[in-house]
A = this chain, B = another copy of it.
């Protein structure tokens, strides 16, 4: 393992680590910037946001637009295009298809917003969110939300099941015993969450299902619903 210094480090004092392909990385930075501003951005605004030059942004936007990843509105703003949804539809279709129906049943039974979250590095991303019918007050938990795995019931449920955490919070060992995790106000003020790990028959644990509500729910009852939903999903996975 000759830990040779990378030969391709350019003279640019990049803030982040060096990425393999600069042009592709610039394109992705544009996409990220647009994701942070759903209302849309102009080329000049994007240039500021990404620290690229306006003309470079313009040309990259051309490619992105031709591929449908970006669309130009009637005015002079660009925003993410529908092809993004198309591509995202191919992310773990098996897991999402399997969880769809059980998740909606869970949302109804618990009368709360139900979610499926997946571990991605040291963060979790909500891959599926289902709100119950006739929800009085709904928790704003958008699909695609990303946050640290150590914050919120969704991430804690996965971490505790993996038991691969070095500095274990009391909550984590406790959760491993119970089979579910609870969080209160960690992600959102006043939000109460309860989640359980999804255990596929083969392979590692990487997902969890749970519910969020604006106040604490009946813990034993909710836990039973969430845990059985997680088991139902896990048993249908490879």
Contacts and interface: CB of A to CB of B under 8 A. Distances in A.
Number of copies: 2
Interface residues of A, number: 64
A144 B89 contact: yes
Interface string A100-124: 1100110010000000001011000
A226 B116 CA distance: 29
A156 to B, nearest CB: 18
A66 B142 contact: no
Nearest to A36: B90
B88 A104 contact: no
Interface in A15-34: 17, 19-21, 23-28, 31-32, 34
A146 interface: yes
A84 interface: yes
A23 B20 CA distance: 12
Q: Which of A25, A34, A127, A204 has the most CB of B within 10 A?
A: A25
Contacts of A48: none
Q: Which of A67, A71, A88 has the most CB of B within 10 A?
A: A88
A20 B81 contact: no
A89 B28 contact: no
B125 A82 contact: yes
Nearest to A18: B66
A220 interface: no
Contacts of A84: 84, 87-88, 90-91
A224 interface: no
